[in-house]
Amino acid sequence: RRYVAGGQCKSTAKLEGKVVIVTGANTGIGKETARDLAQRGKVIVACRDIVKAEAAATEIRAETGNQQVIVKKLDLADTKSIREFAEKFLAEEKELHILINNAGVMLCPYSKTADGFEMHLGVNHLGHFLLTFLLLERLKQSAPARIVNVSSLAHHGGRIRFHDLHGEKSYNCALAYCHSKLANVLFTRELARRLQGKSQRRVVFTANALHPGSVRSELVRHSFVMTWLWKIFSFFLKTPWEGAQTSVYCAVAEELDSVTGQYFSDCQPAYISPRGRDDETAKKLWRVSCELLGIQWD
């Protein structure tokens, strides 16, 4: 059981006066990440389902005694919602120190977002890509700041199929998830590279990705088979609290103050697949993502 649980974040760092956004924080590892960080500072719970988000926030406030756990609507499957969230956040909050891009979908039947993107790519990658773009200047102004992207070991099975990004020629829900998790790793590394290239001093603005582990959560709800297997083998899966440990580690650990562009698992550096280390693919994905979203991000 201890082996399955994996690493734990040992940092006791406080976040007084700091602001954190956690996407998809109404359930699973997102909720546990928000719960931990609410014991340290102000947390924005950014979710599509406001009712579930309010229930989670009420629970976290009661447990931590922190009333600065605030719910904001964010639907990553709709760029209009992403822009509205960012606009309201920037109008209300003068600082942002940690952005945790946690929300995600897995094993969805073929479907598209409001903007016509394949659902896994649209939510897991493009949605967070746009959100990060819209909040980047506020993060820079608040430096030292961190971006934490929740990826997966599944990125090892992914590839960026530029000829069929939206799965219109062929589609497999498991592979689509893998492709989107690879995109998370590539985005993280390219973002870190660009930010480092513009910094002349110590790194004070970092971006890292992570694998949370195999976690008992609602992420497999779209697959009857996976839901059944998750129940049978639940003893060999992490709890949401255990799965949140690496997210919290990447967000607060003092030893990561100047570490950027890396990938972690169980609160320690982990191996990135060869495709995840392909800088040319990362640069191309960046360009294509900007084109799809209609933004200029140099």
**Contact at 8 Å (CB) between 206 and 258?**
yes
- Section 119-132 average pLDDT: 98
**Contact at 8 Å (CB) between 146 and 208?**
yes
Percent of the chain with pLDDT over 90: 84
What pLDDT band is residue 201 in, cutting at 50, 70 and 90? low
pLDDT at 199 over 70: no
* Helix/strand/coil for 269: strand
Q: Over the stretch 19-35, which tens digit does the pLDDT of each residue have? A: 999 999 999 999 999 99
**Contact at 8 Å (CB) between 137 and 116?**
no
Q: Of 75, 89, 27, 92, which is closest to residue 55 (Cα–Cα)? A: 27
- Which of 4-18, 93-107, 115-129, 234-248 is predicted least confidently? 234-248
Question: pLDDT value at position 213?
Answer: 82
Question: pLDDT value at position 196?
Answer: 86
Question: pLDDT value at position 231?
Answer: 53
Beta-bridge mates of residue 206:
146
Q: Which domains does the chain have, with CATH numbers?
A: 15-292 (3.40.50.720)
- The Cα-based distances of 149 to 125, 141, 172 in angstroms read 10, 20, 23
What pLDDT band is residue 41 in, cutting at 50, 70 and 90? very high
Q: Of 257, 269, 283, 101, which is closest to residue 193 (Cα–Cα)? A: 283
Q: What is the end-to-end Cα distance of the chain in Å, rounded?
A: 46
Question: pLDDT value at position 237?
Answer: 78
The CA distance from 48 to 272, in Å, is 30
Q: Of 219, 120, 206, which is closest to residue 165 (Cα–Cα)? A: 120
Question: pLDDT value at position 170?
Answer: 96
HSE value, Cβ hemisphere, 13 Å, CA-based, for 257: 7
- Section 204-231 average pLDDT: 67
Question: pLDDT value at position 219?
Answer: 52
* Helix/strand/coil for 18: strand
**What integer best gives the mean pLDDT of the chain?**
91
The 3-state secondary structure of 39-76 reads CCEEEEEEECCHHHHHHHHHHHHHHHCCCCEEEEECCC
The CA distance from 156 to 151, in Å, is 11
- Which of 57-71, 140-154, 184-198 is predicted least confidently? 184-198
Residues tagged active-site: 177
Percent of the chain with pLDDT over 70: 89
**Contact at 8 Å (CB) between 108 and 120?**
yes
Give the pair of three-digit tokens for residue 67.
Answer: 């009333």
Whole-prediction pTM value?
Answer: 0.92
pLDDT at 60 over 70: yes
Q: Of 32, 36, 25, 18, which is closest to residue 76 (Cα–Cα)? A: 25
- Which of 45-49, 63-67, 192-196, 211-215 is predicted least confidently? 211-215
User: Which residue carries 């059981």 as its tokens?
Assistant: 1
Give the pair of three-digit tokens for residue 270.
Answer: 């982990």
Using CA atoms of 106, 4, 148, 278 in order, give the dihedral in degrees to the nearest 10.
-70
**Contact at 8 Å (CB) between 213 and 151?**
no
Count helices and strands in the chain by DSSP H and E runs = 10, 8
pLDDT at 286 over 70: yes
Give the pair of three-digit tokens for residue 79.
Answer: 């760029």
